[in-house]
Structure 1
Amino acid sequence: MEVSYKWLQEFIELPESPEEVGKILTATGLEVEGIEKIDAVPGGLAGVVIGQVLTCTKHPDADKLSLTTVDVGAEQPLPIVCGAPNVAAGQKVIVALVGATLYPSAGEPFQIKKAKIRGAASEGMICAEDEIGLGTSHAGIIVLDPDGPASQLPNGTPAARYFNLESDYQIAIGLTPNRIDAASHYGTARDLKAVLKRPLRLPSVDAFAVAGTDLTLDVRVEDATACPRYAGVTLNGLTVGESPDWLKQRLLSIGLNPINNVVDVTNYVCHDLGQPLHAFDAARIAGGKVIVKTLPEGTPFITLDGVERKLTATDLMICDAEKPMCIAGVFGGQYSGVSAQTTSIFLESAYFSPTSVRKTAQHHGLKTDASFRFERGIDPNITVFALKRAALLIQQVAGGTVSSAITDIYPTPIESFRVPVRYRNIDRLIGIKIDHSEIHRILEALDIQAEEKTDDGFLAIVPPYRVDVTREADVIEEILRIYGLDNVPLSVNLAADSLSEFPKTDPDQWQSRVGQLLAANGFYEILTLSLTRPAYNDAIRSSLPGEDVTLLNPLSEELSVMRQTLLFSALETMLYNLNRRQKDLKTFELGKVYHKVKLDDSTTKYVERVRMSLAILGNQQPENWLQKAQPVAFHDLATAVQRILNLFRVKAYETQPADTTLFQYGVTYVVNKKPLVSLGLVNPKLTKLVDLKQPVFYADFDWQALLKLATTKVRYEEVSKFPEVRRDLSLVLDQAISFEQISKLARQTERKLLRSVNVFDVYEGENLGAGKKAYSVSFMLQDTAQTLTDATIDKTMQRLMTTFEQELGAVIRK
């Protein structure tokens, strides 16, 4: 969930910085996952100031250019060449200084630099509105009103101040399912109020007034269980159009796109107060009736997205006298919504049963801002207040008048929760004694009233919007999160009582070491969902260890099974980044995979294993003036894999071809007859499955098997005083023979002196003969006890050559 810092300030005074507010919210349980600065226009007009044109003459070598000097508050006026036809001496203008980056309304950003234009120096730019992203006009430069606010501002004043373009901050909150009460700016501000001990400022609705009753509708609720409260009002004489800038900026600050002034107000109030609303075109409501009811099984209904859906007999619908208009609390209909031709509306504000909305949204696979809130339980007591707030805002941005009295059908009010609480249980669960007056201050700040107070405890009256506070432990949790976990001291015996023997191999420590190694080599860690598409598992079914673990109640078909491999998580991440012009990618992930195995007809075993994946795509490094960009290759990935194995001190392993279901080509390293890691080029059929068109190299580690091989033992040897000797051989071999076979055979033949084997060239050509290739291989020899003599070296190399000829059929080229 995203909230706006400036929007929060409408509810509560916040001199604290966004970062400080984020820490406060996290401490209360509303974990802040990130804070992003939001500029009113791209770049925030940094480096753009108000200036005054002092002189303006025609350019001697260009008819359409003017030579100007502009006062921008510096020691000397700036010489600027301007091509606008309306530039003149004496004007107050907008000037982009050298070094400023401009973000035009159309086209790519560009930076202002010192330049010579037709021989004349130019140290800045006098701007038109489209050049700084404030509009689309390019007819001429922006000329400020000399008698307006600009006359009171000195030259050099930042243009952002003049245009009132203050930056905002988007605060991303990882909202847990139980805290739906905080799914709005008002709800978030309530927690800040309790912690900071400051009053809330609710918007006033006193100006709401009914101008007439000429558009009164007959509103009925036939299913009060699914719809305990339903309110509505009509407005007439509206002009639907674009929203004002302040409203658009508010929605954009939390990632919502503006639609039109009426719909934008309903979205605004939803995120402002937490009450979803819906606006119907009153002219399209047949028979002047609004009926809340269910319809027969299989009734067709076309939603706003143009999809025809078959209703179930339990789907609650908002209908008129002839047809359904909206799926209650979930999604509007295609033919009843607000359009550019709308002049009158019926504005709905309701409380729908969480169970009803959840079933309907799940059945139709619809997840909306409204259903997200309704299915968890909103505040049933804010319904009419939010309705009045929206009506006033609609009148403000779209005109019109309220043309009916408010209809509020609420036959059985939802009661507050009554929870007995004992002080001794508060002390026991929190671990310290908190003064009773502070306990009651916290509860009162959270709108929880304490009644029937005694020396032992009290009765907590919890408002119905706090659907997660229904037990004594819940009330105590509320006290603790506002009091502050950091204010509860740790027991002096806690460490002694809780520490146990550490494992010989610490998985967290090794995970950290591997992460640092990969990050140092240019890899970025990714964290992805364990839920995935069934089609992914189906595509590699033959290579999977067991059957899929399928969710009984999936959010959607796209997330209906548990993953059996990290491959598709990596591919989807790469596609996401490629679509955002990030073309050179190196990622790694440590995550779990899941499958089940049937042991017999009645027993199923669920298996959960940890895997680690590496994936690379694009170029080895960005293109530069020293060398051209080179695409990544198999050995770039193999090098990273080898570094990980070296970290775990895994030296001895065998190789075999990788599974062709996953890889077009590749290799699997085997230790103790069990696969440890497979790596290679991903099968193009699999990359195509996720719409990825570029080749991807991928490695898959069995993390648990790797941990078993981990050792912290280090064997130290004295550095040899005697030099290494290098000898090279060129071997002509059958194409089927790998370098791994050469290396393994060499080490078996010479165990004492051979330090390393490396291939530095591979050649294939017609002059070698069909099915042949040549390896150029270097051998490093060293004796730790003495300097090697020529006789010893020659004898060793002869033994190696003889072995290669006999075992591999090699021809030694001189």
Structure 2
Amino acid sequence: MKISINRLKDYIPFDLSTKEIADLLTAGGLEVEGVTTYESVKGSLNGVVVGEVLSCEPHPNADKLSLTKVDLGNEIVPIVCGAPNVAKGQKVPVATVGAILYPLSGESFEIKKAKIRGEVSLGMICAEDELGLGAGHDGILVLDTDLPNGSPVGPLFDIKQTEVLEIGLTPNRADAASHLGVARDLKALLKKDLVLTDVDAFTIDNSDRIIEVSVADNEDCPRYSGLTLSNVKVAPSPKWLQDYLKAIGLEPINNVVDITNFILHDLGQPLHAFDADKIQGNKIEVKRMPSGTKFVTLDGKERELSGEELMICDESEGLCIAGTLGGLDSGVSEQTSTIFLESACFGTDVVRKGAQFHGIKTDASFRFERGTDPNMPVFALKMAALLIKELTGAVVSSPITDIYPDPVADFEIPVSYRHVDRLIGQEIGKERIKEILESLEIKVSNETESGFVAVVKPYRVDVTREADIIEEVLRIYGFESIPLKEDYQADFLAEHPEKDTNKLQYRVTEMLAGIGYSEILTNSLTKSSYATQASFLDQEKDVVILNKLSEDLGVLRQSLLFTGLEVLAHNINRRQKDLKLFEFGTVYAKGSEGYDEGQRLSLFLTGNATRENWMQAVKAVTFTDLYAVVEALLTKLNISNQEVNVIETSPYLFGLELVVNKKPVGHIGLLSPEIGKLADVKQEVYFAELDWTRLTKLAKSQGKFQEISKFPEVRRDLSLVIDQEITFDQIKQLATTAGGKLLKRINVFDMYKGDKLEEGKKAYALSFYLQDNQQTLTDKVIDKTMGKLMQTFEKNAGALIRK
């Protein structure tokens, strides 16, 4: 949200610098994210001065150029000029050497000392478009001024400069979505009075054009005000109004529309101007229209109404989606001579639902969705009417219609002084508390020794509880005014040190980044169609967003798979096909007793394992590449005793389920092509999703350490023929049990499947590493251990030992 410093000074006179104001507002809760400078003419004509042409002679080496001598006050300089209208005695704008010009078209350029066709030129006599003042380029701009030669030309063109604050408005501070709202905070922070626009001059000129108004739903439209103005002359706005709008990032349209935009950003009250001659039956009806009704909005799009939107209608058709966007034919045009000016208060829910259903975001809907001041419509109407009369020559042709059957009451909030002191952390005094609240237009009533009742105006939709009142006191009193005591301390007694999940995540992130994986961060919202098309997801468990922005963002994800696949598709479509990605994220599901959520870690591997080079052939990634990363990750977390179960169900063509302490902690495998195609990924993808919540509980702060054995390690190899269904993990578990403490590790160094073996069989070549930490192993002990291993494999795995 952009706020003009110059306009703020109209509300609160101050002489602080813009930086001081920005720091003050930020400390008070309105964070100023940046400060920019608006110039009505870019560059503000710096370096351009009034010059007087003392002489003008033809250029000796060019037919269309002139040699001039120009008095710049403190010096007389030669300037070569190509304008046909340059003449002796003229007062002209001269861009001096070093000045930078910003023409209306083309790039900016710096004026430099030059030699043109052999003649020295120390400046430039400028045309209107070269200065950025207008489109004129027939000749130089001749000035009508008595300013001394050498004076800056800026004051002749009323060039305005204002610094603009960019405020990062939090959703709860709807009251501050205007210059008046920010000024209210400054009023409290600076302890100054607020200067409001005087609307006492508002009068009704006649009652020649009364528009009848009816409201069908006073809950969704608690207040509707309006009046009619005739003899309106639609034209461009005056310069001051255009400069105001441009400074806050708006393009001027015409005087009537610009005034409504001015009021919206100045007071936070949206207005809408209807062409009164297009209001059929001279009636305005605030009501709902049937579902399926076609309505063309101001942006030229035909929309189909849901039947839930509140509409502004005339006797026969819709004119405007209330609080959101007007209709194409109902607005103000150059032919408009009579307008009906609307100033209303609409319910937050009805505007939000309508705007989201149609995918419309406007400055008006932004404010109505968050809550506007129900006491502002008539004041804003009078202020706008006075401006329209002044700028268009209009007259007010009706009394103000104000339908407000149930005025919104102030909030009454009981407050305890003891609670104020307790939550703030120190006693700041009852008088200071009351002073701060009253400066924020919060009345203190029914005061007792122990507390009071705070009466809050309804425009402060965020102040409804005692804690909110205390927060208001603290943000104006100043967080920096609360000193930290030297003896603050915290004690924590626990049987085991608490795990820092952030450190665990950083440890894994560091490891994955170190082996070439890139971290991604995707949206928790995803498509509901994924759950209907992917059998491994349960559509009944989808957490559906009630106020969804679109169907593509309609549910919370049950898995990190599809949002990650969308990232893969985005990169693959841009010829980045070799990808290693990981993501820490939250998944959500509808449970039997509410909603469940958990943290997950996903890994994606696709494309080639190595880049093409002369030293080695390109090799595609494999399942083992990703499985090795998962094993290294578990090792990093000091998690051991993991088991695996083979899975061949969606979303995998084949894969493994990882189990620790008899509970699954994740799965890993090759995604089936059908799953990849749902996200437009057509190449093989290996994927792993780990239950990060469970892994952090299993993780140990450090692994077990032991002294390196002084006795040698022995290797023995075996070749086993086993059924293809038997996994290496099963063989490993059997070996670990049979080998006891002497078996340190086991490795597969070869595997064979083919016609030399019986169908359904495969051969493993295994190496076993034996070591005793207390003594050197003898052949007898080694043979006994290997015999025990072979016997176990033959008995429990049906293995054939190839000797």
TM-score scaled by length of structure 1: 0.67
The Cα of 1:80 is off from its aligned counterpart by 1.9
Counterparts of 1:744-763 in structure 2, within 5 Å, are none
Residues 307-361 of structure 1, C-alpha deviation per residue, up to 9 Å, x if partnerless?
Answer: 3333344432222122221122222112211112111100011112223323333
* Inter-CA distance 81–569: structure 2 relative to 1 (3 Å threshold): farther
Consecutive unaligned residues of structure 2, counting only runs of 5 or more, are: 575-580, 606-634, 637-664, 671-675, 682-686, 704-803
* Inter-CA distance 555–491: structure 2 relative to 1 (3 Å threshold): farther
What is the aligned partner in structure 2 of residue 134 from structure 1?
133
Report the Cα distance in structure 1 between the residues aligned to 2:244 and 2:552, rounded to whole angstroms: 32
Q: Which amino acid aligns with 1:112?
A: I
Report the Cα distance in structure 1 between the residues aligned to 2:358 and 2:176, rounded to whole angstroms: 26
Q: Which amino acid aligns with 1:89?
A: K
2:288 aligns with one of 284, 294, 315? 294
* Inter-CA distance 349–508: structure 2 relative to 1 (3 Å threshold): farther
In structure 2, the residue corresponding to 1:271 is in which secondary structure?
helix
Report the Cα distance in structure 1 between the residues aligned to 2:497 and 2:153, rounded to whole angstroms: 59
The Cα of 1:711 is off from its aligned counterpart by 12
In structure 1, the residue corresponding to 2:351 is in which secondary structure?
helix
* Inter-CA distance 244–483: structure 2 relative to 1 (3 Å threshold): same
In structure 2, the residue corresponding to 1:230 is in which secondary structure?
strand
Pair 1:116-2:115 in alignment: yes
What is the aligned partner in structure 2 of residue 47 from structure 1?
47
What is the aligned partner in structure 2 of residue 21 from structure 1?
21
The Cα of 1:459 is off from its aligned counterpart by 1.4
2:161 aligns with one of 148, 161, 166? 166
In structure 2, the residue corresponding to 1:239 is in which secondary structure?
coil
Consecutive unaligned residues of structure 1, counting only runs of 5 or more, are: 579-587, 615-648, 651-672, 679-683, 690-698, 714-814
* Inter-CA distance 313–112: structure 2 relative to 1 (3 Å threshold): same
In structure 2, the residue corresponding to 1:492 is in which secondary structure?
coil
Report the Cα distance in structure 2 between the residues aligned to 1:68 and 1:589, rounded to whole angstroms: 70
**Aligned 8 A contact 2:213 2:285 in 1:** yes
What is the aligned partner in structure 2 of residue 100 from structure 1?
99
Counterparts of 1:38-77 in structure 2, within 5 Å, are 38-72=38-72, 76-77=75-76
* Inter-CA distance 192–132: structure 2 relative to 1 (3 Å threshold): same
The Cα of 1:216 is off from its aligned counterpart by 1.4
What is the aligned partner in structure 2 of residue 90 from structure 1?
89
* Inter-CA distance 499–298: structure 2 relative to 1 (3 Å threshold): farther
Counterparts of 1:659-670 in structure 2, within 5 Å, are none
Report the Cα distance in structure 1 between the residues aligned to 2:139 and 2:507, rounded to whole angstroms: 58
The Cα of 1:257 is off from its aligned counterpart by 2.2
Report the Cα distance in structure 2 between the residues aligned to 1:552 and 1:323, rounded to whole angstroms: 30
1:383 aligns with one of 377, 384, 392? 377
* Inter-CA distance 381–604: structure 2 relative to 1 (3 Å threshold): closer
Pair 1:491-2:489 in alignment: no
The Cα of 1:194 is off from its aligned counterpart by 0.5
In structure 2, the residue corresponding to 1:321 is in which secondary structure?
coil
* Inter-CA distance 445–99: structure 2 relative to 1 (3 Å threshold): same
What is the aligned partner in structure 2 of residue 365 from structure 1?
359
Counterparts of 1:336-355 in structure 2, within 5 Å, are 336-355=330-349
Report the Cα distance in structure 2 between the residues aligned to 1:571 and 1:40, rounded to whole angstroms: 46
**Aligned 8 A contact 1:595 1:608 in 2:** no
Report the Cα distance in structure 1 between the residues aligned to 2:352 and 2:506, rounded to whole angstroms: 39
Percent identity between the aligned chains?
50
Q: Which amino acid aligns with 1:140?
A: G
What is the aligned partner in structure 2 of residue 215 from structure 1?
209
1:451 aligns with one of 422, 426, 445? 445
**Aligned 8 A contact 2:229 2:398 in 1:** yes
Matched positions, count: 645
The Cα of 1:91 is off from its aligned counterpart by 2.8
Report the Cα distance in structure 2 between the residues aligned to 1:572 and 1:89, rounded to whole angstroms: 69
Larger Rg: 2
Residues 702-725 of structure 1, C-alpha deviation per residue, up to 9 Å, x if partnerless?
Answer: 998999999999xxxxxxxxxxxx
Report the Cα distance in structure 1 between the residues aligned to 2:106 and 2:535, rounded to whole angstroms: 49
The Cα of 1:474 is off from its aligned counterpart by 1.3
CA RMSD of aligned residues (A): 5.2
In structure 1, the residue corresponding to 2:354 is in which secondary structure?
helix
Residues 610-653 of structure 1, C-alpha deviation per residue, up to 9 Å, x if partnerless?
Answer: 78999xxxxxxxxxxxxxxxxxxxxxxxxxxxxxxxxxx99xxx
The Cα of 1:443 is off from its aligned counterpart by 0.8
Q: Which amino acid aligns with 2:24?
A: I
Report the Cα distance in structure 2 between the residues aligned to 1:287 and 1:43, rounded to whole angstroms: 52
**Aligned 8 A contact 1:4 1:171 in 2:** no
What is the aligned partner in structure 1 of residue 12 from structure 2?
12
Report the Cα distance in structure 2 between the residues aligned to 1:382 and 1:608, rounded to whole angstroms: 47
* Inter-CA distance 52–495: structure 2 relative to 1 (3 Å threshold): farther
Counterparts of 1:238-253 in structure 2, within 5 Å, are 238-253=232-247
Residues 140-199 of structure 1, C-alpha deviation per residue, up to 9 Å, x if partnerless?
Answer: 11222124xxx16853x26378532324324232333x2111111100110011011111
2:253 aligns with one of 259, 263, 273? 259
The Cα of 1:435 is off from its aligned counterpart by 1.4
* Inter-CA distance 445–611: structure 2 relative to 1 (3 Å threshold): farther
The Cα of 1:399 is off from its aligned counterpart by 2.2
What is the aligned partner in structure 2 of residue 283 from structure 1?
277
* Inter-CA distance 505–467: structure 2 relative to 1 (3 Å threshold): closer
Identify which range, 91-100 or 504-513, moves more after superposition.
Answer: 504-513
Report the Cα distance in structure 2 between the residues aligned to 1:9 and 1:603, rounded to whole angstroms: 52
What is the aligned partner in structure 1 of residue 36 from structure 2?
36
What is the aligned partner in structure 1 of residue 266 from structure 2?
272
In structure 2, the residue corresponding to 1:60 is in which secondary structure?
coil
* Inter-CA distance 346–167: structure 2 relative to 1 (3 Å threshold): same
The Cα of 1:209 is off from its aligned counterpart by 1.7
Report the Cα distance in structure 1 between the residues aligned to 2:71 and 2:570, rounded to whole angstroms: 50
In structure 1, the residue corresponding to 2:188 is in which secondary structure?
helix
* Inter-CA distance 460–702: structure 2 relative to 1 (3 Å threshold): same
The Cα of 1:25 is off from its aligned counterpart by 1.4
Identify which range, 260-269 or 12-21, moves more after superposition.
Answer: 12-21
What is the aligned partner in structure 2 of residue 204 from structure 1?
198
**Aligned 8 A contact 1:226 1:356 in 2:** yes
In structure 2, the residue corresponding to 1:494 is in which secondary structure?
coil
* Inter-CA distance 502–113: structure 2 relative to 1 (3 Å threshold): farther
Q: Which amino acid aligns with 1:69?
A: K
Residues 240-264 of structure 1, C-alpha deviation per residue, up to 9 Å, x if partnerless?
Answer: 1222222222222222222222111
**Aligned 8 A contact 2:2 2:248 in 1:** yes
Report the Cα distance in structure 2 between the residues aligned to 1:278 and 1:410, rounded to whole angstroms: 18
What is the aligned partner in structure 2 of residue 192 from structure 1?
186
What is the aligned partner in structure 2 of residue 175 from structure 1?
170
* Inter-CA distance 370–92: structure 2 relative to 1 (3 Å threshold): same
Q: Which amino acid aligns with 2:50?
A: I
The Cα of 1:106 is off from its aligned counterpart by 1.6
Report the Cα distance in structure 1 between the residues aligned to 2:689 and 2:290, rounded to whole angstroms: 54
TM-score scaled by length of structure 2: 0.68
The Cα of 1:231 is off from its aligned counterpart by 0.9
* Inter-CA distance 52–175: structure 2 relative to 1 (3 Å threshold): farther
Counterparts of 1:584-623 in structure 2, within 5 Å, are 592=585, 594=587, 606-609=597-600
The Cα of 1:200 is off from its aligned counterpart by 1.2
Identify which range, 295-304 or 526-535, moves more after superposition.
Answer: 526-535
Q: Which amino acid aligns with 1:305?
A: D
* Inter-CA distance 198–135: structure 2 relative to 1 (3 Å threshold): same
What is the aligned partner in structure 2 of residue 408 from structure 1?
402
The Cα of 1:51 is off from its aligned counterpart by 3.1
Q: Which amino acid aligns with 1:43?
A: G
Q: Which amino acid aligns with 2:548?
A: P
* Inter-CA distance 675–220: structure 2 relative to 1 (3 Å threshold): closer
Report the Cα distance in structure 2 between the residues aligned to 1:611 and 1:65, rounded to whole angstroms: 72
The Cα of 1:55 is off from its aligned counterpart by 3.1
* Inter-CA distance 471–256: structure 2 relative to 1 (3 Å threshold): same
Report the Cα distance in structure 2 between the residues aligned to 1:269 and 1:244, rounded to whole angstroms: 15
What is the aligned partner in structure 2 of residue 754 from structure 1?
none
In structure 1, the residue corresponding to 2:391 is in which secondary structure?
helix
In structure 1, the residue corresponding to 2:11 is in which secondary structure?
coil
What is the aligned partner in structure 2 of residue 787 from structure 1?
none
In structure 2, the residue corresponding to 1:87 is in which secondary structure?
coil
What is the aligned partner in structure 2 of residue 789 from structure 1?
none
In structure 2, the residue corresponding to 1:24 is in which secondary structure?
helix
* Inter-CA distance 460–338: structure 2 relative to 1 (3 Å threshold): same
Counterparts of 1:302-317 in structure 2, within 5 Å, are 302-317=296-311
What is the aligned partner in structure 1 of residue 632 from structure 2?
none
